[in-house]
Amino acid sequence: MARTLRRILDLLYLASGVAAAVCLVAILVIIVLQMAARWAGIAFPGSSEYAGYLMASASFLAFAYALNRGAHIRVNLFLTALGSHRFWGELWALVIGTAATSYLAWYAVKATYWSRKLHDVSQGQDATPIWIVQIPMAFGAILLALCFLDNLVTLIVAKQDNIRPDLIDQSHGE
């Protein structure tokens, strides 16, 4: 059962990373369309806002995937200096990360709920309901909190988290 849950979580993190990449490609498409519209003298209202919404979505959707891939900044120098106490340093960091991201996820969901309830719309030309563009942010925040909790539980149970070695460590200075 633990392996099945691990596969499901890893697939969820990967799917979120892929969704973030799709958002980045969509930003590129919007920018190119905006340039073409400008050259053709056609108005493309709201394009800057949509690119901004996609950037926020891409960022939040990529957080959990990036955490497990070792792409987030970690203070490995400090953790290495802890020597035999490294476990306690990682435990402390994951407890703080879990608490902070859970707090963030709670308020991201709360903000989305209230934006929907109050019929809040963007102030740009697009007048998009804000709750629609807040959903990927809230989902990404929830997923990041889940990823931190996943790593915390794994560290406590298996004495090692799921975070792969840093990308810098993998390159060996090449």
Residue-level pLDDT at 1: 83
**Domain ranges in the chain?**
2-171
Residue-level pLDDT at 170: 57
Residue-level pLDDT at 169: 58
Residue 71 tokens read as 């792409």
Residue-level pLDDT at 167: 57
pLDDT means over runs of 10, the chain (174 residues): 91 96 96 94 87 93 92 76 90 95 97 95 84 94 96 93 69 50
Tell me phi and psi for residue 71, to 5 degrees: -90, -10
Q: What angle do CA 75, 99, 110 make, to 5 degrees?
A: 130
Residue-level pLDDT at 60: 95
**CB distance 129 to 120 below 8 Å:** yes
pTM value surpassing 0.85: yes
